[in-house]
Structure 1
Amino acid sequence: MEKTNDTQRIHVDSEVGRLRRVIIHSPDKGLGKIIPTKAQDWLFEDIVHLETMRKKEYDYYVKTLLYFLDPGKIKGKLQEIDDPKNNRAFYKPSHPDYFNSDKVVDPEFLLSQILDSKEIKDRLVAAVCAHERVSYAIQTQLHALPPSDLAITLITGILPDGKMIFGPVPNFIFTRDIGITINKHIMLTRPAKQARTREGILTKFILFNHPHFAEYRNNIIEITDLDEFFLLDDEEKPFKAVTVEGGDVMTVAPNHLLIGCSERTTIHAINQVIHELFERNVVDKVTMVKIPKRRAYMHIDTTFTQVKKNMWVIFGPFSRYGKEMDRRELLEGLGHPPETIKLELVQFEKGKEGNPRKFESLEDLLDDISQKDLKSTEPTEFIWSGGGEFPYGQREQWTDSCNVLAVKEGVVIGYDRNDKTAEAFQEKGFDIIRAEDLIQKFENDEIQPEEVENTLILLPSGELSRARGGSHCISMPILRDRIL
């Protein structure tokens, strides 16, 4: 496998190439401000216990990523980090012992750095204040904050004195949704829900102003509303909205992008993405995966993700065997016939847009990617959510069994609560290990990260799963080794 040059900061041409740089946002205090009456508005199914999520769950995610991507930042320091006398917030940029890795990067840290510039600070404060419609007095107060405090306030909505001046952006932990790396380009997404608009503003300022991305500014793709969208009446606008979120976008091969048409990503956005990518020669093929517009599915990465070149974890009811894996005969007795889930899978190729290719099933599409795009030498295989057994497939899909992050081919991070899916991985020859145990093995030199193969790493997930996003959702890869 050809490795990406270490001087290169941005390049992703697959879902499973060795992960080298990733953007993640550790849970911030804004999540602890969600109240039941606002949970739905802020896109949460439930309120979460912040300290449990931070210290007993996400903590292991950060440590796992550091050991694989930047071990020098954590190796030999585990005992000190875990000392009860410390507040164990080393993963927050505001902490004096923040690990400050350029491989595992928090957007809060990047944001605080660009806010050192008065010009950028003025423009960003003005943009956020206009969006949040705050008073002139509040805007003046924000201008007076030092960069690190201002970054926290812009994300959480909370001033250093504890006063809440506008709502948090609790979904910022799902960094997958704010941008997608497609080869040497980054596509800024356009959130479907008002609760996520501020995330888009902050991300845009980071990408266009931080030195980390300076060489790639001409490669940033912005997705915008259609021309004259502002002239449409309010009844017509929802039918022509342009929204796209990162969970619906997968760079599956150097020449191929998948994009979901879902609850969060519209057909008008997909049309724009296809034109942009083809005009810029970013990819040769874009395949639309149209799924039912439901909260339960939300994005395509909640229903399938890639594990190896030739292996995918998949939600059974979306497969060609869907009827067998989604038995609901009991509903018929109540006068409600079983629902048939039908996907639309349409592939557009540059230069042949008027003659799209259609796939009969999700397995056919994924097999085509594995065999033709990624040139796998082994047959394509599938791991079913919940082992393909009703009702575990549906239960575990809800808690992100299909939403795994590959740190390298065959080594993926998932949630520990999805027992049946873990058993399905084991049946395919995977080792199953808790993140806590693997981290301790790394620390004790019992095994090295480069020696880990065919492994499902399980994160504790009682609170993380309440947020409705798995390890794939809480990551934005910006650099992977080349897959071919």
Structure 2
Amino acid sequence: MEKNINVSSEVGRLRRLIIHSPDEGIGKVIPTKAQEWLFEDIIHLDTMRSKEYDLYVKLLLYFLDYDKIHGAITDADHPMNSRNYYKPDKEEYFNSDKVVEPQYLLSEILEHRDVRNRLVASVCAYEETSYAIQDQLLELPSKILSRTLISGIMPDGTMIFPPIPNFIFTRDIGIVVNDYLLMNKPAKAARARESIITKYILFNHPAFSEYKDNIIEITETEDFFLLDAEEQEKSKITMEGGDIMTIAPNHLLVGVSERTTLHAASRVVQLMHEKGIVEKVTVIKIPAKRAYMHIDTTFTQVKRNMWVMFGSFSREGIKKERHGVLESLVGDSKNEYKLDIKQYIKGRDYSDPITFEYLEDLLDDISQNDLKSEEPTEFIFSGNNEFPYGRREQWTDSCNVLAIKEGVIIGYDRNDKTTESFRKKGIEPITAEELLRKFDKGELMPDEVENTLILLPSAELSRARGGSHCMSMPLLRDSLFN
């Protein structure tokens, strides 16, 4: 039987994923609430949709669902040129089973009265709406109700609860580990409704019915509720998908960051081994700072032997950050860029993990030993490792790229120095607009694209602090070892 869900690497040929196009709720974010809702700035929604995310969707459709999109660029009457093609509640919606929209999946499960009743009750209880609002929601058509539960906006424009603008970052709602689904447990209240909605989709939609027993929820320990507030803060479990990477069939990476706690990482290690899902789990502790947020904001994979990473976390970068102070006086504990990297292997005593001193050592080990690369491991650095561009471009997601397949990745066009570094490694840049034009005119087929960095316009998208890696939840990738 053909698998619908299986991810065993970061760079195997991408076949199916979940994305959420920017919804109207994003256009309701105001300056005084932006940071609480985890945005750095307010977004011009129409620009984000029509001039940036629009190209992201079309690129994904060309690579994953060619027949759905071919001819759209040059045919003014093609459905994909409608301003409504990305809206699941509109007739023009593209509705691909390869590039999947959670809002559409949500609308389908809301057709079932029992699911509708339970989900609306769950959301209304969490958002503390009135009973009258709950009754109104229950009477909405499924496609409209789906839109309202996500955007917080009723059909008449009334705002009944906050938007969930971070839902465009579908990486964080869950991660596929081989043929298991690992659900998130968000650190911030602004993302709680995403988690509720995702849970209902995964447990109730037919697309996931064969995987119900493979859905893993990370929960608090039994005695957590008996702890006082201070103890709870120290031992709470929170986890987001940007800190999880299925890097090889036998190997999972887990970040400990601003959003994912040590207790969550520990629980993941134990569950992965208990269920026999992977042999190795490597925990990477990075500084708990907004600038880094998740591990995928500091490194992602380009090919089995190539990575893009934040230079300050590199071997040389860590030395430079000491600013000339004697190492014997400073010590690693005083260096905020020093990472703590420990690898736990099934059957090996957890008190004796394998330790990696530098991130490059771990990534090289993955490339050479887990992924069996026949070529030396190479690194591309944010901002070409030039001051101050390394930090500037890491902030605008230079290290956060999505691999369509080995060597073909989507990144942001604004990170000029990083693009220069990609070119030096033989990865040639092309704008999303130019590549789509070539596809549409038949000058190039998606399967013919090799060693290419596709540059996505990003003036508005980058304000939301997430790149193409964040904006994707891969469901199915080809194995690297077929």
Structure-1-length-normalised TM-score: 0.95
Aligned with 2:472 (options 471, 475, 482): 475
Q: Residue 168 of structure 1 aligns to a residue in which SS? A: coil
1:295 is aligned to 290
Q: CA deviation at 1:285?
A: 0.3
Runs of at least 5 residues in structure 2 that lack an aligned partner in the other structure: 325-333
Could you say which residue in structure 2 is the equivalent of 1:110?
105
Structure-2 separation of matches of 1:261 and 1:416: 29
User: 1:170: Cα distance to partner?
Assistant: 0.4
Give the aligned partner of residue 332 of structure 1. none
Q: Is the 8 A contact 1:316 1:325 kept in 2?
A: no
CA RMSD of aligned residues (A): 1.7
Q: Report the equivalent of 2:47.
A: 52
Which position in structure 1 is the counterpart of 2:428? Answer: 431
Alignment correspondent of 2:448: 451
Instruction: Name the SS of the counterpart of 1:321 in structure 2.
Output: helix
SS at match of 2:116: helix
Which residue among 320, 340, 343 is the counterpart of 1:344?
340
Cα 1:278–1:363 change in 2 (3 A) is: same
The residue type paired with residue 267 of structure 2 is Q
How far has the Cα of 1:87 moved from its partner?
A: 4.7
Distance 1:162 1:180, change over 3 A: same
Of residues 413, 418, 421, the one that matches 1:416 is 413
Residue 286 of structure 1 aligns to a residue in which SS? strand
Q: How many residues align?
A: 472
Shift of 1:89: 2.6
Mapped to 2, the partners of 1:375 and 1:305 lie a distance apart of: 18
Task: Write the letter of the residue equivalent to 1:390.
Answer: F
With over 3 angstroms needed to count, the CA separation of the structure-2 counterparts of 1:127 and 1:388, relative to structure 1, is same
TM-score with structure 2 setting the length:
0.95
Instruction: Supply the distance in 2 between the matched residues of 1:221 and 1:262 (Cα, whole angstroms).
Output: 21
In structure 1, list runs of 5 or more residues that go unmatched.
330-337
CA contact (8 A) 1:434 1:459 kept: yes
Secondary structure class of the residue paired with 2:71: coil
Please name the residue that 1:96 is paired with.
Answer: 91
Q: Match of 1:348, as an amino acid?
A: Y
Asked if 1:142 corresponds to 2:137, the answer is yes
Deviations 1:59-110 (A, max 9, x none): 0000000000001110012234688996523122122111110000000000
Equivalence for 1:334: none
Distance, in Å, in 1 between the alignment partners of 2:349 and 2:84 is 50
**Secondary structure of the corresponding residue to residue 288 of structure 1:** strand
Q: Counterparts of 1:212-251 in structure 2 under 5 Å?
A: 212-251=207-246
Preserved contact between residue 316 and residue 326 of structure 1 (Cα < 8 Å): no
Question: Matched residue of 1:215: which SS?
Answer: helix
Deviations 1:15-66 (A, max 9, x none): 0000000000000000000001100110011000000000000000000000
In 1, distance between residues paired with 2:468 and 2:451?
A: 17
Q: CA deviation at 1:431?
A: 1.3
Match of 1:304 among 299, 305, 310: 299
In the other structure, the counterpart of 1:128 is 123
CA contact (8 A) 2:321 2:337 kept: no
1:353 to partner: Cα distance = 3.5
1:171-210 paired onto structure 2 within 5 Å? 171-210=166-205
SS of structure 2 residue aligned to 1:134: coil
SS in 2 for 1:413: strand
Code of the residue aligned with 1:251 in structure 2: it is T
Which aligned runs of 4 or more in structure 1 are off by greater than 3 angstroms? 79-87, 323-329
Matched, 1:399 2:396: yes
CA distance in 1, matches of 2:166, 2:210: 28
Aligned partners of 1:445, 1:85: CA distance in 2, in Å? 17
2:316 to 310, 318, 321: 321
Shift of 1:327: 8.2
* Rounded Cα–Cα distance in structure 1 between residues aligned with 2:181 and 2:79: 40
Report the alpha carbon displacement of residue 461 of structure 1 after superposing the two structures with TM.
Answer: 0.1
- Taking the aligned partners of 1:156 and 1:327, their CA distance within structure 2 comes to 46
SS in 1 for 2:15: strand
